[in-house]
Structure 1
Amino acid sequence: MEMLVASAVGVLTTVGIYLVLRLRTFPVIVGVSLLTYAVNVFLFASGRLAVNHPPILRDEALSYTDPLPQALVLTAIVISFGMTAVVVVVALGAYLGNDNDLVNDPDNPEDAISKEPEA
């Protein structure tokens, strides 16, 4: 089970970083969302949960699973939802203002895909 979760975190992180490095706005937003999902799965997996077992690891009261990762994941989900909503609104404003959704540096003259505003 741990290998499956570790592989899922690795794949989500790899795909998220790849998409963040794209030139279009939508893949960047999806990449940031995938990175937040990877962090959420990592935090949730650090809580020592097992499949089809109660949250008590042994008979002693000191061996309950840690509830802190679950609380952190719930908080991270809310924060990532708000962050995604803000980024989508900013990207939509940039698209409507420039008629393109490219993520490039307007000060760099070597950007062949930059679009100059019409006067």
Structure 2
Amino acid sequence: MSVSLVLLVVMAVLYACGIYLMLERSMTRVLLGFLLVGNATNLLILIMAGAAGVAPIVEDGVGADSKYGAEEMTDPLPQALILTAIVITFAVSAFLLALIYRSWRLAKEDDLDDDEDDVAMRVGSESLLFEERDDGTEGDTEFGTRAQAAISEAAELEHHLEPPREKTKGAKK
């Protein structure tokens, strides 16, 4: 039961190229990278299945009078897993294609930009979600500072209305 070295090399190259493409900013490259990783995973399952054998459904069946033993037959589970992986890869690819199409229709570009909140989180500064921005817009929500005021009022109300909790452990009634 030896695995072909060529299959292992092809699988490793597919994984490497797929992950490299998935780390790009372009949605089309992300889609291509996802397809490469999906095909590499199918190869991995095929390699892990072992050596090819006889089909598990034979006319004689498996038994004492059969010409085939159980060890000479191929396990059908890896083939079912590959079929499932193909369907999942197809579905996610269709979803990514819809995202790419929508992005192209709205922005006429395929590259993703940095969000200001993501950059602020990366550098560890305060969130820009409810702050006034340089261009005069108020945060990411349509409500702007009104949403921040409502959140802070709700937090204060919750703090004042909550009764103090007493320790009842070991207390007698």
- Deviation (angstroms), 1:33: 0.6
Counterpart residue number, 1:44? 46
Q: For the residues of structure 2 that align with 1:55 and 1:12, how far apart are their CA atoms?
A: 29
Change (3 A) 1:85 1:72: same
Q: Is the 8 Å Cα contact of residues 54 and 73 (structure 2) preserved in structure 1? A: no
Aligned residue-pair number: 106
Equivalent position amino acid for 1:87 in 2: L
**How far 1:55 moved relative to its partner?**
4.8
- Bigger share in helix: 1
Rounded to whole Å, the distance in 1 between the matches of 2:113 and 2:33 is 17
Q: Which residue of 2 aligns with 1:64?
A: 73
AA matched with 2:21 = L
Task: Provide the rounded CA distance (Å) in 1 between the counterparts of 2:55 and 2:4.
Answer: 17
Percent sequence identity is 30
Question: Aligned partner of 2:15: which letter?
Answer: T
In structure 1, the gaps of 5 or more residues are 110-119
Q: TM-score, normalised by structure 2?
A: 0.55
Structure number with bigger Rg: 2
5+ unaligned residues in a row in structure 2: which ranges? Answer: 57-66, 121-173
Deviations 1:21-77 (A, max 9, x none): 111111110001100000011112221134xx6458x94224422110100001110
Aligned Cα root-mean-square deviation (Å): 2.2
CA contact (8 A) 2:15 2:40 kept: yes
Provide TM-score, normalisation by structure 1: 0.78
Does the alignment pair 1:26 with 2:28?
yes
Is the CA contact 2:54–2:74 (under 8 Å) kept in the aligned structure 1?
Answer: no
SS at match of 2:94: helix
> Post-superposition shift, 1:98?
1.6
> Post-superposition shift, 1:106?
2.2
Please, which of 59, 74, 84 is the counterpart of residue 75 of structure 1? 84
After superposition, residues 96-111 of structure 1 pair within 5 angstroms as 96-107=105-116, 108=119
Aligned to 1:91: 100
